[in-house]
Structure 1
Amino acid sequence: MSLTSDNTLFSLIDPWFVEKIGQHLSEPQRLILQACWQAQKQTYDEIASAHNYSGRYLQNRVAPELWRLLSEATGEKVTKMNCSAVLTQVLQAYAQTQNRSMSPALLANLGQTVNELPDGSVPLDSPLYIDCLPQSARYYQTILHPGALLRVKGPRQMGKTSLLTRIIAYAQQADYQTVVLNFQQADHEILADLNRLLRWLAATATQQLKLPLALDDFWSADIGSKMSCTVYLEGYLIDSLTTPLVLAIDEASELFEYPEVSREFFAMLRTWHEYTKSDAAWHNLRLVISQSTEAYIPLNINQSPFNVGLEAALQPFTLEHLNTLMQRHQLDLSTEQLEQLLRLVGGHPYLVRLAFYHLAQGQLTFANLIETATTDTGIFRDHLHYRLWMLQQNPDLEATFKTVISVSKAVQVPQVHAFKLHSMGLVNLVKNQVEVSCTLYQDYFGQRL
């Protein structure tokens, strides 16, 4: 979608901005918005060059203020990457209040969004991304601070990778170098061996930074794999860059299954974080760790990266979030129906999106969705079947969860089991106890365990 090809939509921006902010868009602000929504994306320097502005002025003065104002006006984090998606939804609602019709081209684009199957992380430009973190701006801004360590935590399919993707994009807009390492992509043999894991980390980071591989120039058995990796990061990767480096570890919880490797690896990350505070050579490193659950391996409190930095704990969707997402799917459900869906899936972001996707496709009615939700033919069947299979691979964990769903209140279970069940999204942690996270799991697994 391009603003310049849709005069109806473009004409709404300034009056909406005046109504929300109390001032008109400046010419530089308008040029940035216009460029952001063109099919061919432009950098700030390219925008500036085409209109006789300074690239540094647009990027460092105009754009930050524009994104701040738009974030305040929309109630969502607005960036160069997602502004067209967010504003499309806002302006559609605004057009309805102004009795103005949207163009067929725009409606077709919104229809394509409704057809977006909830599979994997939510695309950066998707209006279906819901920012449910309170004061989310501080999590983005933290990554720009020297020595930052940000921990993104939440059960599987709660939106960790989607948030991580946006944090990385935010860092890239600030001209930072970024590396993302997903431990789900590492082979079992690599995760089980510290030396192989650290060489994989170093090699993957080098590849993403588009630098020549130089592991053998820094790796030495005499100093060990942790020190070799540390020297490689400082003496080669960081030293080769002129801007800060954001190193993100996605799905770090995968390593918890390898206790010995976990202790060594996470102790090394903690050491790197400490270096950023005291060693000028490390000031340009920022760390982001994404985890599905609490660390259930014994870690020395002074050697753990999980008790330092800033934590972004993802929460289930609220009724307000469901209402927003419903509107973006162009659905019309009553408050009672939204409350019923909220109770069914416990506000689980993926399950909510899956429900709205199928409803928007006209494949079933809301009554059909509720009636078949806990069956082996309902829309949640793949999600449920996979979790049933995971439980069956671990009889002790299965027995623990059977205990949880057999009672109507929170119950205490072995800590490791509590954390593993929480990482699967099956339970909520309530102090030192757990309770089943939603009626979908209560009813489905209650019939099968």
Structure 2
Amino acid sequence: MTIDQVVLLLKASQVNGLTTLQEIILRCAWEGKTYTSIAFEAHYGEERVRKVAAHLWQLLSDFWREPIHKSNFYQTLSSRPLSKTHQQLIKEFNRAATAISLEFPNGPVSLSSRFYIPRPPVEELAYAEIATPGSVICIQAPKKMGKSSLILRLIARATNEGFRTVSLDFQQADQAVFSSLDKFLRWLCANVSRELQLEPKLNDYWDEDMGSKVSCTIYFQKYLLAAVKSPVVLVLNEVDWVFEYPEMAGEFLSLIRSWYEQSKMVEIWQKLRLVLVYAQEILVPLNLTKSPFSLGLLIKLPNFTKEQVEELAQRHGLHWENSQNTESLMAMVGGHPYLIRLALYHLVGRGGLAGNLQAVLVQAATTAGIYHEYLRQYVLVLQGEPELATAFSEVITASNDVKLEPLIAYKLHSMGLVHLEGDRCTPACELYRLYFRSQLHTVKDLTIPKELGSLHCSDRSV
């Protein structure tokens, strides 16, 4: 039995469910943490934690009809399998909860959502790193893999620790911002000032003779970091947009590295905790001594495992343990978080396919399938990138793995379209192979369909 199952059983059996503090105590006690540690993490007084815990142990003892307390909690329940009665209780609870809280998978998974599936050790590594003075975290994964959902939780953890947080999205910057390094760094400084609720004072610190990078560094050190007492977590989203300007990207990324190195020597720089979020591999030619990606913590978000898919299915009210459903869905879409969740939504949502997974899979790679709107965005991108389209067509029509030019292979891999092992490429999942074989018969067919004619070929929403 897992702690998630223990929590679900108590939620299902208690009229009023569990409070947030009760759940925190259960999960921390399962890990063997002391009441003092639990109180510190939960931001409650230790006496309050002990009182709530005493009530919890009584609930557990009554539920399992045997004495359960903090010292034997894990040992008593961890090795005990779920009974059929308890499995049914969880199943019915999930169905009832899903009927109330079913969410269409669009955008980041909210902090309150029941549909966020942790991918250990990703979250704990990120939480530990953000608490490290002067740290840098690089989060890399294709679109729809859960980067934004992880960032939400990272920001929430930082806020709970009393840190100031700033999240900037380079996608929101006007194109003119990227016309020069000076404009870009001034945009960065002005927006960080605004997010920290400080008056922008760029002209007081900017000096043409010293250059933009030095001016930006002084602005952060002498003004921004000096003005706040607590550490600052600076999240830079869509860093990919900077990669499109190689010369400027090289300067900016070397600046980030210099800040990291200064944190080892200058105490005030230890306040800054940087999080760089991007989809594609780093294709900007950088000397390793200048790149921030060769230091700090690099997180590449993995696909869901079979167990995680089953857990997500259970949270949708589907009982997929010991069935072929998980294998069937993963055979089509792998462990891609968004593709998995979209299928589960349609299986249980209003107007869905009434739990008929086979119907979903039969239509999956067609224009009538649930994935068509998502997949046609890739078609638009490939239409604007004939070289990528040619290479991808080769991959999806080959019977074995294909060797591509490194730059092309990295781009397709960064888009999430292919798996890359060494210099050999295969389709990321069977869905992509089947869908794009029918949609992109040959490169010659890569003309914009009439119904898509009004859309821009360089759509980046993939």
Q: What is the TM-score with the length of structure 1 in the denominator?
A: 0.79
CA distance in 1, matches of 2:133, 2:36: 34
* CA distances 1:81-137 after superposition (whole Å, capped 9, x unpaired): xxxxxxxxxxxx999629879999x976542322x1111111012121111243641
**2:116 maps to what in 1?**
129
Q: 1:345 to 1:233 in 2, by over 3 A?
A: same
Kept after mapping to 2: 8 A contact 1:293/1:423: yes
1:343 to 307, 331, 336: 331
- What is the match of residue 244 of structure 1? 231
Shift of 1:269: 0.6
Task: Find out whether 1:112 has 2:100 as its counterpart.
Answer: yes
Number of the residue aligned with 2:68: none
Q: How many Å apart are 1:295 and its aligned residue?
A: 0.6
Q: Distance in 1 between matches of 2:297 and 2:360?
A: 39
Letter of the aligned partner of 2:437 in structure 1?
G
Give the aligned partner of residue 151 of structure 2.
164
Distance 1:211 1:112, change over 3 A: farther
Q: Counterparts of 1:314 and 1:119 in 2: how far apart (Å)?
A: 18
- 1:401 match: 392
Partner of 1:301: 288
Specify the alignment match of 2:192 in structure 1: 205
Structure 1 portions without partners, runs of 5+: 34-43, 64-92
Maintained 8 Å contact 1:9/1:102: no
* RMSD, aligned CA: 3.5
TM-superposed deviation, 1:423: 1.9
Whole-Å Cα distance in 2 between the matches of residues 11 and 263 of structure 1?
49
What do the CA deviations read for 1:23-64 (whole angstroms, capped 9, x no partner)? 99979969998xxxxxxxxxx4xx66xx997xxxx8xx999x
What are the residue-to-residue correspondences of 1:212-361 with 2, within 5 Å? 212-333=199-320, 335-361=323-349
Whole-angstrom CA distance in 2 between matches of 1:307 and 1:293: 16
1:235 shift after superposition? 0.9
Please list every run of 5 or more consecutive structure 2 residues that lacks an aligned counterpart in the other structure: 1-10, 53-81, 441-462
Q: Which residue of 1 aligns with 2:163?
A: 176
Q: Secondary structure at the match of 2:105?
A: coil
Could you say which residue in structure 2 is the equivalent of 1:9? 17
- In structure 2, the CA distance between the partners of 1:328 and 1:275, relative to structure 1 (3 Å rule), is same
> What is the identity, as a one-letter code, of the residue corresponding to 1:97?
H
**Larger CA Rg, structure 1 vs 2:** 2
Question: How far, CA to CA, are the matches of 2:423 and 2:181 in structure 1?
Answer: 32
Whole-Å separation in 1 of the counterparts to 2:183 and 2:435: 41
Asked whether the equivalents of residues 316 and 346 of structure 1 are also in contact (C-alpha less than 8 Å), the reply is: yes
Q: In 1, Cα distance between the equivalents of 2:400 and 2:226?
A: 55
Following the alignment from structure 1 to structure 2, what is the Cα–Cα distance between the partners of residues 28 and 310?
A: 26
Q: Which residue of 2 aligns with 1:83?
A: none
Give the secondary-structure state (helix, strand or coil) at the position aligned to 2:208. coil
On the 8 A contact 1:17/1:23 being kept in 2, the answer is no
The Cα of 1:203 is off from its aligned counterpart by: 1.3
**Which of the residues 415, 430, 435 maps onto 2:426?**
435
1:123, 1:162 within 8 Å by CA — same for their partners in 2? yes
Decide whether the 8 Å contact of 1:153 with 1:312 is kept in 2: yes
Map Cα deviations across residues 412-447 of structure 1 (whole Å, 9 max, x no partner): 212222222122110112112221100110011112
2:304 alignment partner, SS class: coil
CA 1:331–1:261: 2 relative to 1, 3 Å:
same
Give 3-state SS (helix, strand or coil) of 2:224's partner.
helix
Q: Please state whether the residue corresponding to 1:301 is helix, strand or coil.
A: coil
Structure 1 residues 264 and 19: alpha-carbon distance in aligned structure 2, compared to 1, 3 A threshold: closer
- Other-structure match for 1:415: 406
Per the alignment, in what secondary structure is the counterpart of residue 233 of structure 2? Answer: strand
Would you say 1:97 and 2:59 are equivalent positions? no
Task: Give the structure 1 partner of residue 135 of structure 2.
Answer: 148
Amino acid at match of 1:348: H
For 1:146 and 1:18, locate their aligned partners in 2 and report how far apart those are by CA, in whole Å: 27
Alpha-carbon offset, residue 228 of structure 1: 1.4
- Identical aligned residues as a percent: 35
1:263 Cα deviation after fit: 0.7
- Separation in structure 1 between the aligned mates of residue 430 and residue 128 of structure 2, nearest angstrom: 37
Q: Distance in 2 between matches of 1:188 and 1:407?
A: 39
Q: Secondary structure at the match of 1:311?
A: strand
In structure 2, distance between residues paired with 1:385 and 1:428: 20
After superposition, give the CA deviation of every residue in 1:328-370 in whole Å (9 maximum; x if it has no partner).
0002346322111112112111111111111111511212211
Question: Which AA in structure 2 matches 1:163?
Answer: L
Counterpart residue type for residue 264 of structure 1: E
Amino acid at match of 1:383: Y
1:281 & 1:428 partners in 2: Cα distance?
A: 42
CA distance in 1, matches of 2:28, 2:209: 67
| From 169, 173, 193, the counterpart of 1:186 | 173
Which stretch shifts more, 215-224 or 204-213? 215-224
